[in-house]
Each structure stands twice: as C-alpha cells, then as structure tokens.
Amino acid sequence: MRTAIYPGTFDPITYGHMDIAKRAANMFDRLIVGVANSPHSNKQPVFSIDERVDLARQVFQENTNIEVQPFSGLLVDFAQEHQAGVIIRGLRAVSDFEYEFQLSGMNQALRPQIETVFLPTSPQYTYLSSTLAKEVARLGGDVRPFVDACVYAALVDKMRQQC
C-alpha cells in the first residue's frame, strides 16, 4: 500500500488545500491529511486542533482513501509511524518556494528515505490562503467561493465570537 502524507496547519482548510489533497489521493492508495498541532513560524491558529481536524474530516467524508489525523512533533516521525514514504506539499507562487525548499531539505536530512513531492496549485487557487480567507471573513466579505459550506459556517461563527 502506497501512503502519502499531506501536512499543514489547515486553519481552516480551503478549496486550494482540497484540490491538492484530492489530486494527491489519485496518485496513492491512501492519503493522510496531517493537521499540525504545533504549527511552524509562530503561526497562532484561529481554530483549535479539534476544530481544524473536524472540518477537514467533514470536507473529505466522501473521499474513501483520504483520512485526517492530527499530529504533534516531527513530521518525519508522523510519516514513519504511518508507513508513508512521501510528503506532499502544494506550491502557489515563487514566494512559497524558498520555505518549502528548506523544509524538504531538512526533512530529507532527518529521514532520507522519505521523499517530498510538490504539486503546483490549480490556477484558480493561486491567490488563495487560509490567512486571506480569514481576513476577508473578518472584514465581512463573502468567502463562500474559497471554502466548503461547513468551513464557511465555522468561519462566520468564529468571526462573530471574536467581535
């Protein structure tokens, strides 16, 4: 069984993430969407780990070879625990590249047998990020074109709580 991991913060999951996950799931027997409990670079998530996992599970409920799992600690340990030989990351623009390249290099140094595979974003999601979706929602914009209906409802709720 060929298993890949698609890790991220998913705060919250967007159509851009879903597109990458579904395309990756077509290439492997099993795709594990790994939701990072302790995100990188001082990101302070708006949604709790349970909320982020729950939303990701809802959006992939019909995708039988995609499962969603939270993880803490090193990504390469999480990958090994699940016998995953491949880490999937999405690339939107050149600006993603530098960080992603460093990350893949570090993961390669830590666990050479695990490969990172980059998938380019589909053109309609080039500009889409969780950060921008949250910002638009916070300012009262309509984020329905960017996220699944369950994520939209959760975002509206969260923004109301934060007011």
Are 150 and 59 spatial neighbours (Cβ–Cβ below 8 Å)?
yes
Cβ nearer to ligand ADP, comparing 132 with 156 = 132
Measured at the alpha carbon of residue 11, what is the angle toward residues 124 and 79, in degrees to the nearest 5? 95
The verdict on 89 binding ligand ADP (CB under 6 A) reads yes
Cβ nearer to ligand ADP, comparing 90 with 112 = 90
d(CA 133, CA 74): 27
Question: Of these, 28, 71, 107, 121, which contacts ligand ADP (CB under 6 A)?
Answer: 121
By residue count, the chain amounts to: 163
Cβ nearer to ligand ADP, comparing 29 with 99 = 99
- C-alpha torsion sign, points 137, 54, 97, 124: negative
Cβ nearer to ligand ADP, comparing 43 with 144 = 43
Q: Is 95 among the residues known to form the active site? A: no
Are 121 and 90 spatial neighbours (Cβ–Cβ below 8 Å)?
yes
Q: Is 89 among the residues known to form the active site? A: no
* DSSP helix/strand/coil, 73: coil
The verdict on 39 binding ligand ADP (CB under 6 A) reads yes
The verdict on 28 binding ligand ADP (CB under 6 A) reads no
The DSSP line for 50-71 is HHHHHHHHHHTTT-TTEEEEEE
Number of amino acids touching ligand ADP (CB under 6 A):
18
The verdict on 92 binding ligand ADP (CB under 6 A) reads yes
* DSSP helix/strand/coil, 34: strand
Q: Which stretch binds ligand ADP (CB under 6 A): 63-71, 78-86, 88-96, 132-140?
A: 88-96
Q: Which residues bind ligand ADP (CB under 6 A)?
A: 8-10, 16-17, 20, 39-40, 43, 89-90, 92, 96, 121, 125, 128-130
